[in-house]
Amino acid sequence: MRLKPFEFLNPSSLEDVFELLVRYGNEAKCLAGGTDLLVQMKQRRILPKRLINLLPLSELKGIHKAEDSLRIGALTRHVDLERSAFLEKGWNLLALAATKIGSPQIRHLGTIGGNLCNASPSADTAPPLLVLHATVCLSSLKGNRQIPLEAFLTGPGQTGLREDEILKEVILPKPPEGSLFTYLKLGRRKSMDLALVSVAVLVTINPERKTFEQVRLALGSVAPTPIRARAAEKQLGGNLIGEEAIREAAETAAQECQPMTDLRATAEYRREMVKVLVERAVKQSLGFPIPPTGI
């Protein structure tokens, strides 16, 4: 299906972008990688009269490391996340998730900002960013404001982005020392597919007491937005490390989610797979043996 005609705007600065957003309001959409937006335009789900091209704006690109944080520009591509030397220790949970997105072609075009602003419940970058306590910086002519990613994602295809704002960057605080992590994604195929269920885990342990010190769990594709499984986190925190404790927490996580039935999977199947994936993800992060899997 062909795209309906639209005006293509090439601003030369962020200020120009903000002025265009104020001038045209909901008649305009910002274009980053376009891997979601252009598909939706072809399907007539979104019909903007104007596209504002963000790609030439270098200030929205790149990964910058400070002493206690990492700042990722909204136009940073998924392939850049895969390859960045700055994504180390707990931060490279995000790099791991980036390898699961689409195909190499998609990863060379798609951006972290576009992935978040599309606000799909199955967005691969969202669960890792939730457990990394990500904050998003939103920018407009009025200045910058920062909100937690959890508050930014408000529903399927919906965010806290105002009409005159763009997502400028994602800010990650330093992960806890000794962070252990993993990201598992279940799809109908091993690659190039949306997640039926995804799980991100970040764990720290007390090796002397053999207990969980801190556990962060996030789930994708099983609620209107990616969510933290806080009851399961609390259940594991401070407990002795063991298979029974992990299994019970996985069952709790399965009860916390709000899956729906669609063409790809039933709600019942998704809930059962949350239980399976959470157990496997926690075990894998700890180095426990898990059954062979294509996930």
pLDDT in tens, 122-174: 999 999 999 999 999 999 999 999 999 999 999 999 999 999 999 999 999 99
Give SS3 for 120: coil
Structure tokens at 193: 């597919």
Fold of the domain spanning 7-52 = 3.30.43
Domain locations in the chain as residue ranges: 7-52, 61-173, 180-286
For residues 93-97, average pLDDT: 96
For residues 246-254, average pLDDT: 98
Give the global pTM: 0.95
Task: Check whether 211 has a pLDDT greater than 90.
Answer: yes
Task: Check whether 295 has a pLDDT greater than 80.
Answer: no
Structure tokens at 259: 């899956």
Rg (CA), the chain: 19
Task: Check whether 293 has a pLDDT greater than 90.
Answer: no
Mean pLDDT across the chain: 95
Residue 6 Rama label (left phi>0; alpha psi -120 to 50; beta)? beta
Task: Check whether 1 has a pLDDT greater than 80.
Answer: no
Distance CA 116, CA 188 (A): 23
Fold of the domain spanning 180-286 = Enolase-like; domain 1 (3.30.390)
Distance CA 81, CA 142 (A): 30
pLDDT in tens, 48-74: 999 999 999 999 999 999 889 999 999
Whether domain 61-173 has CATH 1.10.3720.10: the reply is no
Q: What's residue 188's pLDDT?
A: 85
pLDDT in tens, 7-51: 999 999 999 999 999 999 999 999 999 999 999 999 999 999 999
Tell me how far apart the terminal alpha carbons of the chain are, to the nearest angstrom.
33
